[in-house]
A and B are shown apart, each in its own frame.
Chain A
C-alpha cells in the first residue's frame, strides 16, 4: 500500500526557516511528480508546489516563490520542502501528495497525514 509520511513541522519564529520531509513507501517514488499542499487552521486547501519525477522541473504558488524550495532524493524515496523567511501566514498543516496523471489529467491521489507548522513569536 502506498504511504507518505511527513515530518519536520514545529514552532518557528517569524523570519525563521524550517525543512519538511516526506518519506514514501509502497510506491515507485522515482516515477511520480510530487506535491506539497497546505491548509491554514480552519481554512481551505492551498496547493504550494510540485516537482517532476527527476527533479528537473518545479512549480510554486506565487506566495512562496523565492522563499520555499521543493526538492527530492529518489534514492531515498524522499521529498523535501525548505521554507525560509517564514511568516505567520505560512502557519498550516502541510501535506505531501503524489501527483499522478491519468491520460494526461493530473490529480493528487495519495496523501500523507500532514505535519503542522506554526510561525509565531
Chain B
C-alpha cells in the first residue's frame, strides 16, 4: 500500500497569512494526488485533483503543486472560512490512502 505522510499535523496562522502543507507519498504517484478540506462535523470537500486542478467553486488562493512523491498545498491570504483540517489522498492505486491530516487553526 502507498503511505501518505502530511506535515505539519497542525498549524496556527492568522487571517491574511500564507501557509503551506506538504504531503509525501511512499512511492511515485505521478500527479494522482487530491486535496480535501474538512470542517468540524461536516463531510470532506474536494478542493483539488491531479495535484493542482481546482474543483468548481474553489477559490484561487488554494494552489497545489508537485509530482512523483512530493506535493504541496499553499493557501494565500487566509480567510476565516479556511480554518479547517486538510487531507491529501493518493488516487494512483487502491487502497486510496489519505494523509493523516493537517489542522489549520487561528492564531
Tell me, in angstroms, the Cα distance from A106 to B100 when the chains sit together: 20
B83-107 CB contacts (< 8 Å) to partner A: 87, 89, 91, 94-101
A95 shortest CB reach to chain B, Å: 6
**Once bound together, how far apart are the Cα atoms of A109 and B97, in whole Å?**
16
- Assess whether A50 is in contact with B53, with CB atoms less than 8 Å apart: no
Mark the stretch among B13-21, B41-49, B65-73 that contacts chain A.
Answer: B41-49
Partner of B31, one of A50, A59, A105, A114: A105
Nearest-CB residue, chain B, relative to A64: B95
Q: A interface vs B, CB < 8 Å? A: 35, 37, 44-47, 50, 59-62, 95, 97, 102-103, 105-109, 111-114
In contact, A45 and B101 (Cβ under 8 angstroms): yes
Task: Report B32-91 residues with CB < 8 Å from chain A CB.
Answer: 32, 34, 36, 38, 43-46, 49-50, 53, 55, 87, 89, 91
Q: Using Cβ atoms and an 8 Å threshold, which residues of chain A touch B53?
A: 102, 105
Secondary structure of the A contact surface, majority rule: strand
Query: Separation in Å of the A31 CB from the closest CB of chain B?
Result: 18
| Structural contact, A50 and B46, CB atoms closer than 8 A | no
Q: Are A50 and B43 in contact (CB under 8 A)?
A: no
Binding site for A on B (CB under 8 A): 1, 31-32, 34, 36, 38, 43-46, 49-50, 53, 55, 87, 89, 91, 94-101
Nearest chain-B residue to A6 (Cβ)? B43
Interface centre among A46, A103, A105, A113 (most CB of B within 10 A): A105
Task: Quote the shortest CB–CB distance from B61 to chain A (angstroms).
Answer: 20
A105 and B43 in contact (CB under 8 A), knowing A44-B98, A47-B98, A62-B1?
A: no
Partner of B46, one of A46, A62, A95, A108: A108
The interface residues of chain B lying within 8 Å CB-to-CB of A105 are 31-32, 49-50, 53, 91
From the candidates A44, A59, A102, A107, name the one contacting B101 in the complex (CB within 8 A). Answer: A44
